[in-house]
Amino acid sequence: MSKTLLFGGLTPIHELFIKGAVEGLGYKAEFLPNPDNVSLSVGREFCNRGMCNPTYYTVGNLLKFLIEESKKGVNVEDEYFFVTVGACGPCRFGMYETEYKHALREAGFKNFKVAILNQTELSSDGDFDLTPSLIWALVKAVWIADIIRDLGYQLRPYEVEKGSVDSWIKVASENVYEVLKKGAPVIKTVALLEELRKDLEKLRFDYTRVKPVVSVIGEFWAHTTESAGNYHIHRWLEEEGAEVRPEPVAGWIDYQLFIEEEKLKRDLRVKGFSLDKVKKLVAVKAMAAVFRGLYNLYRSVFYFRPKPLPSQRKLAELAKPYFDHFVVGGEGHLEVGKHIYNLIYRKAHMVLSVKPFGCMPSTQSDGAQAKVLSDYPESIFISIETSGDSEINVKSRIQMKLFEAKRAAEREFDELISELKLPLFAFRKVFHSSKPFIKLKGNYAGTAARVLYGNKTELQPYLSPLSEAI
Ligand code: SF4
């Protein structure tokens, strides 16, 4: 294949690693720049009316790139082809393929090729074959990206030296990319991550900072992207003093496999025994187990600090009274399930649900979230709509909720320290410059509280009357 494969739509770190994985299989690959509001305008100009926001951003981003390349004299139809994920719906996701083709035609690129990877059938259509080795290479790339991104969001708010975590991520990303590009097996990727962890362990973290933990959920693209598509919400929350919990892309794949498993089981129950279906069921379950095993293997390199993938069954059970898991489209029941999961298992002080303008499944979820909130009035929850404009309005609404979350985090920490009867000065003295991977324990959402609870014995020497002198 002489053409360069173009793709986009995830975070910069995911895209870099996917590029490495694809190049490792012999393709030439490039990812698109992060979408911005020019991408949105171009998308609105060439797409059909009434689409959802991710369509405008992602389609517009491709067109913007092709227009810019064409202006430089590149024959983009000969030079590139685009690969994107598709599905049969039931929301507008099912129309992405048609929308890409329509907009490309409208913009004057009628011979530009688009290949579709069907996420439900695990098949492909176009100039790109979804082979088992490609799937495995992509899984490794995406899982490592999730793990590094997760660590970044967990550690950055506590770094003693500003910028040290991002510098580590930059170097780590370049190294991981090089290894993936060589088609490295899992064992080599693990060995590399171990080396990179040692560099991370040289950095120091101030775990005495009491910060609200904010879980960012919502529609898949809107909560994943780190672009104008969600007003760069993750980094902005961090600047506002929060510790952000992003959702891993692996969770989305896990969800797809769970739904496939549930559908097969239902078919076997309702339509009767079929050997084909049993074989498919075994394959889906095996794939989910292997993928989870790999995720945990990568987590283990960092002493399991990256968050585990929550049980899909648990999320479905939690959501059940409000949203049936057979109602699919977008994130289906997940928005409701994740909200309750974060609340009752104290995974976050606040849940922010990001809904793109024109998103049908997220609108349904928001209806159900109203009932969830009346059943769990203690939840600090906010749902926002991203439309490309109204950024100030959206952020000022979030700031009001974030204020409540900050108070909740402080209350949680203050109550714990008085319950343990430990001196605050000692906590500050011991943990203001710690290694990254210290013990985090206890049923608390905040990192400072979990550090305090997990390492309380270290503070015992400070309990004597003369302790201030230690
Ligand atoms: S989930 Fe919502 S935003 Fe995403 S493709 Fe479907 S309708 Fe569009």
The domain segmentation of the chain, as residue ranges, is 32-130, 140-200, 213-413, 421-469
> Number of H helices and number of E strands within the chain?
18, 9
- Pairwise CA distance, residues 143 & 145, whole Å: 5
Q: What is residue 116's predicted lDDT score, i.e. its pLDDT? A: 85
- Pairwise CA distance, residues 174 & 68, whole Å: 27
Q: 169-215 pLDDT, tens per residue?
A: 999 999 999 999 999 999 999 999 999 999 999 999 999 999 999 99
Q: Which of 219, 255, 384 to mutate to test the pocket of ligand 1 (most atoms within 8 A of CB)?
A: 219
Closest ligand 1 atom, CA of 362? 2
* Minimum CA distance residue for ligand 1 atom 1: 330
Please say if the pLDDT value at position 88 is more than 70: no
Confidence band of 95 (pLDDT split at 50, 70, 90): confident
Please say if the pLDDT value at position 66 is more than 70: yes
Please say if the pLDDT value at position 469 is more than 60: no
Distance from the CA of 57 to the center of ligand 1, in angstroms?
12
Q: What is residue 90's predicted lDDT score, i.e. its pLDDT? A: 74
* Minimum CA distance residue for ligand 1 atom 4: 330
| Percentage, residues of the chain above pLDDT 90 | 86
Q: Averaged over 359-386, what is the pLDDT?
A: 94
Distance from the CA of 78 to the center of ligand 1, in angstroms?
31
Distance from the CA of 312 to the center of ligand 1, in angstroms?
21
Please count the other Cβ atoms lying within 10 Å of the Cβ belonging to residue 406: 18
- Pairwise CA distance, residues 89 & 330, whole Å: 8
Averaged pLDDT score across all residues of the chain: 94
Closest ligand 1 atom, CA of 221? 4
Whole-model pTM: value is 0.95
Q: What is residue 389's predicted lDDT score, i.e. its pLDDT? A: 83
What are the strands, taking DSSP E only, across 228-311?
243-245
Q: Which helix (H) or strand (E) holds 382?
A: strand 381-386
* Minimum CA distance residue for ligand 1 atom 7: 359
Q: What is residue 89's predicted lDDT score, i.e. its pLDDT? A: 64
Distance from the CA of 341 to the center of ligand 1, in angstroms?
23
Residue ranges around ligand 1 (CB below 6 Å)? 52, 54, 91-93, 219, 221, 330, 356, 359-362
Please say if the pLDDT value at position 470 is more than 60: no
Q: What is residue 126's predicted lDDT score, i.e. its pLDDT? A: 61
Indicate the angle between helix axes 249-271 and 132-155, nearest 10 degrees: 130
Q: What is residue 96's predicted lDDT score, i.e. its pLDDT? A: 82
Please say if the pLDDT value at position 324 is more than 60: yes
Q: What is residue 242's predicted lDDT score, i.e. its pLDDT? A: 98
